Chains A and B, each alone.
Chain A
């Protein structure tokens, strides 16, 4: 497993970080999971280049980085369409390509979605911290030196993965997510939905919210109809654990969808986004419209199973294509 210099960042883009599927088992120490916000795109990107689903990739947003490739390697870009290019020629998303030494991967602007994932055959070689290569930006550890990528950073890869392994592989076109600027997110109520009057619960389900510019990897802040809690109770509760997708309502009544950088919180949570819709949270961009729809737990599990079945079907296909 020789680590060799694989990628050079020639322009950093915005908030380009190393992420995998996240850091679990350390919540008791206040350590949040971090990890790819759109885990579906990260998993497919990895499978496209012959990696296992949890390898470290680059996550970028809005306008991607410029990257010089330092050794022959297979790469794929998935997620939002940030107009990826190889040596200035457009390349397809959700497809793997053979990159030669000195090829340059660059991006244009986000024409749909918000975040893209860049996978490299063998994965990005950074040391795991507490079992994960994800960057924890707020506390500055994990990933590449605990920060987002800067110009002239050199990222290591793993040369033991055959350099052209799996180039030209494509994800099933029917299963590629379509991103618009209006989102319908499925939620289940709770855990504190009973702290809100009927009016608030009705407004929560029947208004169009907008994602605020103040959002970051910690949370998606929403503008629009305010969702007050019952008048006779305090706005804050005794701090307790939260998960990504928890929708908390602070005292100002403006919902915040918690993302992967938070482990506890002291605000009431009216509802929780279902697991199958978590990848979408990584693709909503400031200004987009968001509506919530309540589903049952059974519907939530069916939706998750459908997503997992597709990933597994693609995984089987890629495993077969690796046979001699």
Chain B
């Protein structure tokens, strides 16, 4: 893409296997630390490699990436970490829980049950710092984005967009259906690393009461 990045595409769909391919290449390239590579941005189905064209030429970098792709080994991936995220569902902090339930003709409690059932994969971090794109949401509660996005969504808000779910990591605008809120902080600029979650991690949601949330300690 442009004269200073390569977009390495590993598939054309949202799927755990394609995403794992991205992760394998990302981990391998990160380990090699090629001179002139400034940034690696992994996403659902591609890895963006931003480089300094004054240090390394696109053909040289492509050749190196090709070589690495030949030797990729899933065994090199770390065992996935599972992070529990406590969520207060509904109420003022989950203003769209009722409408998601109505959309599917089920009760709000059923939405919560469905949402807390899967172990989700962190497909990528993006949109805002520390924002995880998680999948897949059970079809029974998959809901389109809101027609009109909100100008302000507080950090910690848990949302659904089709078969994706995510957590707003900082205060920002947003169009996802907000069904709950977590007291967990997903982004700390001073943190090492700054993001709680990383691509390839696993996430489970756990329903808690607002009293439990107010007493929640990191």
Q: Interface on A for B, CB 8 Å cutoff? A: 24-33, 129-130, 136, 138-142, 146, 188, 190-191, 238-243, 245-246, 263-264, 269, 272-275, 297, 300-301, 304-305, 308
Contacts and interface: CB of A to CB of B under 8 A. Distances in A.
B111 interface: no
B194 A238 contact: no
Contacts of A275: 2-4, 53
B186 to A, nearest CB: 10
A239 B44 contact: yes
B3 A30 contact: no
Contacts of B2: 188, 190, 243, 245-246, 272-275, 300
23 contacts: A24-B38, A25-B38, A28-B40, A29-B193, A29-B198, A31-B194, A138-B172, A139-B129, A139-B187, A141-B189, A238-B43, A239-B127, A240-B44, A240-B46, A243-B5, A243-B50, A263-B126, A264-B41, A272-B2, A275-B2, A297-B3, A301-B3, A301-B53
B45 A240 contact: yes
Given A30-B195, A274-B2, A275-B2, A191 B54 contact: no
Contacts of A140: 170
B126 A30 contact: yes
Contacts of A246: 1-2
B139 to A, nearest CB: 19
Contact of B131 (A30, A130, A191, A301): A30
B43 A297 contact: no
B195 A129 contact: no
Interface string B189-212: 110011100110000000000000
A232 to B, nearest CB: 15
Interface string B95-130: 000000000000000000000000000001111111
Listed from nearest, the 4 A-B pairs whose CB atoms lie closest are A241-B48, A264-B126, A272-B2, A241-B41
A242 B195 CA distance: 19
A272 to B, nearest CB: 3
Given A28-B199, A264-B124, 12 more contacts: A24-B50, A27-B39, A27-B48, A27-B50, A30-B195, A138-B128, A191-B7, A240-B46, A241-B46, A241-B126, A264-B126, A272-B1
B42 interface: yes
Interface of B: 1-5, 7, 12-14, 26, 38-48, 50, 53-54, 58, 124-131, 133, 169-170, 172, 187, 189-190, 193-195, 198-199
A269 to B, nearest CB: 7
A28 B197 CA distance: 10
A188 B127 contact: no
Given A130-B194, A188-B2, A30 B128 contact: yes
B144 to A, nearest CB: 12
Contacts of B4: 243, 275
Contacts of B39: 24-25, 27, 33
Contacts of B40: 27-28
B157 to A, nearest CB: 15
B3 A188 contact: yes
A29 B46 CA distance: 15
A241 B38 CA distance: 14
A162 B153 CA distance: 48
Contact of B45 (A25, A27, A238, A297): A238
A304 B194 CA distance: 33
A207 B127 CA distance: 31
Contacts of A130: 189, 194
B14 A26 contact: no
Contact of A190 (B1, B48, B199): B1
A243 to B, nearest CB: 5
Contacts of B53: 275, 301, 304
Nearest to A26: B194
With most chain A CB atoms within 10 A of its CB, the pick from B41, B126, B190, B198 is B126
With most chain B CB atoms within 10 A of its CB, the pick from A24, A139, A142, A188 is A139
